[in-house]
């Protein structure tokens, strides 16, 4: 197929299709073909900034053999100063002709591109289509001979990696720097040790070889994942894929348990397609074994060197006053004390770290580089990292180490349930593609989904989940120092995301207009109420109060599907007041993205920047960055934060992982401020719910008498799903949605605006509590109020 023919077909398709909707660009069809190598394409396009930054910025793109990379200008791209690089063959491509927009969803990144000129738009679409077909054909026929997606990494056979000269040179410079920082009589001993050490050179070489192995593993991973990814977004017409590309391929992503998969087609699999001619498993296992052995060798070398260095420092005749030497000695001593404890921690239920993260726990952290990521989360020249901290750090080390007392409203404490009535259903038979194929780039909150794709909680209850670790707010209310109070407030903000880690298998129910939810938790010292105050756009408002704090927010989420990933962009501000000190904290939320929506292992990440300010005082501010995961980086789910005074001076540093723990300070003496609670047994079988989430929809007979008829616990379809009755749940869900449509029609015909019962609009157009709920609740079932029939 010639490039000219491809170009003509692509341009023809552009003008035959509707101009105002997203169109999926067709991928590889039929059997393998001889696709000619496409010509290179380069030039400027507009790239959408990552939320919360708005607008577009101009970037220079270079497309070569199916690999699209970009930088600020052509010179940067030539020098290898790239801001991003994706394989278009492994991407879902969608175009919007009227707006001249191109979207590329490569799971790790989503590129939203725009071109002003119609001629250039047609040219880029044509070239991208040609390169995409060429790349998919190349991967399918020659999976072990792919070009490198990241050209700034040298290939495994490169002499620079085999010899690792640059690494050895770097280590030599570090040794010289360390030598100059030592003093007293032990300087000669340590200098002699550094100069005579062969193990460090051996370790350097082992790590270089390991890097080459890991690069090769990445290529094999892409070859194996292409069995899913090249067909994860088929064309709207019937898509025939090569026999090698089977829907039954190995799923490799392990960030989360596989709670849900989707059938891409109703067609039965071809038996011959199960026997892929390219056996990738054996070379993958072989290289993985080599990586394991190489890492063991490197670890052995470092362990040996650690012992030698400790001996040198133990036999010093003059105590050193060098900060570096003292820190090194303390780290070595701590390492010997915590060695067994670290090994135990690696297999504990609390740790969900990857193999790479577990290996890193053998070494004591020396420093943390906290650099804020850019507005678009592009790869910076100096990548920051977060060192792992062992679990033996106590919260009591923090200067406020007083455990605040739990406020109690005097209500009777009851035994709460620890398990749902029925496990989550198997929804692998649901074809998500048939549901989502016509909704690329659209707001999914308006798309009806089968009840099987839901979890037995709704959005109002999800808002309450943010208070799972409300004890952090109690601690803030008992802390005199304003900077330390901000530490607890910031940690509370991060903790609100922890429950999402295992929750990629289902979506919460959308509340109907007028639906409410209450949560009275005397054991936690707060009571919470929420209401769906608007349907179009969907807005959920909530309010919680205790003797130590008041918490409220209204949330408007935009859910966008981009072919392989779904982005959830929340709009609104969250508020917390601490009456004891007159503080009023405000902050925004970050973007969430669920990857592998259609196939493979789903996983969720949060990225963006949260700014926390105290509107009652300018003494301190806080910025928290949720770091976007980078390709081939084992460090995921990282958060970094700084608390500064009014002059911008950093007072406290925060770091950690949003699903595990948050630390304050600098390693190895950092203090653990918060750690996520352990998950219940068999949580994978029960929607990935935390213990707190399991309790949210529980309905005690005595509580039923107190609730308004609009409370979520009384919603029939959600209760039936929780009990495992899918057929009845689907029937009731459709009935409830039809009732809502009829109510809306009646309101529109009579020119009536819905008035929420328990929330009102404030002067700044946000929704706040009218403070009537708990007073009206004193009448059993809100007997003196009229409510619409919601279900």
φ, ψ of residue 269 in degrees (nearest 5): -70, 140
Q: Strand, coil or helix: what is 46?
A: strand
With a cut of 90, say whether residue 410 has pLDDT above it. Answer: no
Half-sphere exposure of 6 (CA within 13 A, CB side): 25
Burial 174-211 (b: 16+ CB within 10 A, else e): ebeebeeebeeebbebbbebbeebebbebbbbbbbbbb
With a cut of 60, say whether residue 781 has pLDDT above it. Answer: yes
pLDDT in tens, 208-226: 777 777 777 766 666 565 5
Confidence of residue 332 (pLDDT cuts 50, 70, 90): low
Structural domains for the chain: 2-141 (2.30.29.30), 435-784 (2.40.160.120)
pLDDT in tens, 738-778: 999 999 999 999 999 999 999 999 988 899 999 999 999 98
pLDDT at 442: 64
d(CA 703, CA 709): 12
Q: Residue 220 has which token pair?
A: 């094999």
* Among the listed residues 240, 529, 522, the one whose alpha carbon sits nearest the alpha carbon of residue 409: 522
pLDDT in tens, 733-745: 999 999 999 999 9
pLDDT at 36: 84
CA distances from 270 to 114, 226, 261 (A): 40, 18, 20
pLDDT in tens, 418-469: 999 999 988 776 766 666 666 666 666 667 778 888 899 999 999 999 999 9
pLDDT in tens, 336-377: 544 444 333 333 333 333 333 433 333 333 333 233 333 344
Cα 499 from chain centre: 12
> Mean pLDDT score of the chain, rounded to an integer?
74
**Mean of the pLDDT values across residues 54-65?**
89
d(CA 529, CA 773): 8
pLDDT in tens, 546-602: 999 999 999 988 777 777 788 888 888 999 999 999 999 999 999 898 888 777 778
pTM score, two decimals? 0.60
pLDDT at 634: 62
Say which range, 36-40, 260-264, 473-477, has the weakest mean pLDDT. Answer: 260-264
pLDDT in tens, 667-705: 888 999 999 999 998 898 999 999 999 999 999 888 998
């Amino acid at each position: 197929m010639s490039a000219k023919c491809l170009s003509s077909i692509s341009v023809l398709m552009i003008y035959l299709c509707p101009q105002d909707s997203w169109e999926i660009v067709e991928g590889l069809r039929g059997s393998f073909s001889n696709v000619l190598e496409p010509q290179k394409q380069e030039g400027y396009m507009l790239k959408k900034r990552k939320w919360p930054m708005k607008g577009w910025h101009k970037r220079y793109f270079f497309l070569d053999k199916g690999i699209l990379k970009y930088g600020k200008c052509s010179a940067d791209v030539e020098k290898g100063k790239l801001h991003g690089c994706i394989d278009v063959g492994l991407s879902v491509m969608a175009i919007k002709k009227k707006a001249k927009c191109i979207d590329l969803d490569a799971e790790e990144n989503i590129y939203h591109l725009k071109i002003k000129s119609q001629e250039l738009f047609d040219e880029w679409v044509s070239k991208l289509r040609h390169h995409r077909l060429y790349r998919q054909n190349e991967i399918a026929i020659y999976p072990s001979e792919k070009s490198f997606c990241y050209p700034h990494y040298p290939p495994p056979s490169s002499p620079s990696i085999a010899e690792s000269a640059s690494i050895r040179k770097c280590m030599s410079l570090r040794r010289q720097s360390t030598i100059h920082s030592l003093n007293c009589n032990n300087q000669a001993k340590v200098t002699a040790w550094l100069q005579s050490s062969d193990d460090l050179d051996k370790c350097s070489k082992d790590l270089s070889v390991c890097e080459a192995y890991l690069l090769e593993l990445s290529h094999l991973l892409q070859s194996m994942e292409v069995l899913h990814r090249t067909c994860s977004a088929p064309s709207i017409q019937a898509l025939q894929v090569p026999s090698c590309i089977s829907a039954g391929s190995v799923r490799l992503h392990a960030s989360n348990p596989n709670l849900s998969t989707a059938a891409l087609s109703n067609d039965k699999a071809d038996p011959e397609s199960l026997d892929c001619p390219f056996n990738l498993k054996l070379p993958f296992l072989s290289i993985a074994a080599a990586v394991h052995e190489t890492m063991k060798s490197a670890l052995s070398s470092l362990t040996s060197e650690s012992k030698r260095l400790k001996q040198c420092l133990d036999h010093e005749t003059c105590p050193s006053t060098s900060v570096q030497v003292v820190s090194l000695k303390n780290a070595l001593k701590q390492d010997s004390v915590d060695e067994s404890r670290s090994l135990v921690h690696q297999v504990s239920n609390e740790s969900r770290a990857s193999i790479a993260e577990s290996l890193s726990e053998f070494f004591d952290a020396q420093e943390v580089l906290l650099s804020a990521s850019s507005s678009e989360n592009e790869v910076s020249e100096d990548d920051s990292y977060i060192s792992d901290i062992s679990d033996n750090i106590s919260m009591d080390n923090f200067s406020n180490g007083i455990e605040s007392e739990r406020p109690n409203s005097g209500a009777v404490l009851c035994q709460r349930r620890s398990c749902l009535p029925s496990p989550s259903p198997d929804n692998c038979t649901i074809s998500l593609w048939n549901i989502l194929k016509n909704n690329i780039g659209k707001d999914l909150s308006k798309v009806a989904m089968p009840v099987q794709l839901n979890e037995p909680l709704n959005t109002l209850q999800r808002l309450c989940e943010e208070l799972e670790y409300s004890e952090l707010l109690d601690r803030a209310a008992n802390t005199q120092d304003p900077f330390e109070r901000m530490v607890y407030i910031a940690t509370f903000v991060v903790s609100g995301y922890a429950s999402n880690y295992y929750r990629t298998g289902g979506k919460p129910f959308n509340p109907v207009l007028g639906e409410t939810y209450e949560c009275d938790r005397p054991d936690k010292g707060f009571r919470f109420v929420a209401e769906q105050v608007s349907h179009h756009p969907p807005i959920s408002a909530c309010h919680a109060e205790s003797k130590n704090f008041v918490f409220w927010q209204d949330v408007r989420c935009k859910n966008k599907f981009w072919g392989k990933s779904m982005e959830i962009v929340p709009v609104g501000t969250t508020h917390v007041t601490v009456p004891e000190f007159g503080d009023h904290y405000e902050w925004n939320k970050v973007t969430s993205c669920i990857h592998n929506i259609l196939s493979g292992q789903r996983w969720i990440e949060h990225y963006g920047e949260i700014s926390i300010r105290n509107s009652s005082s300018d003494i301190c501010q806080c910025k928290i960055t949720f770091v976007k995961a980078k390709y081939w980086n084992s460090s995921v789910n990282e958060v970094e934060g700084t608390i500064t005074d009014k002059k911008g001076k950093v007072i406290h540093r925060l770091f950690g992982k949003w699903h595990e723990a948050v630390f304050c300070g600098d390693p190895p003496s950092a203090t653990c401020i918060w750690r996520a609670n352990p998950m219940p047994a068999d949580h994978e079988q029960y929607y990935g719910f935390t213990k707190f989430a399991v309790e949210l929809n529980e309905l005690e007979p005595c509580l039923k008498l107190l609730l308004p008829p609009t409370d979520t616990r009384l919603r029939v379809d959600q209760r039936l799903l929780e009990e495992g009755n899918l057929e009845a749940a689907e029937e009731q869900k459709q009935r409830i949605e039809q009732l809502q449509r009829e109510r809306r029609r009646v309101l529109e015909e009579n020119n009536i605006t819905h008035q929420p019962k328990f929330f009102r609009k404030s002067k700044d157009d946000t929704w706040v509590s009218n403070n009537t709920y708990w007073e009206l609740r004193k009448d059993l079932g809100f007997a003196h109020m009229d409510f619409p029939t919601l279900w």
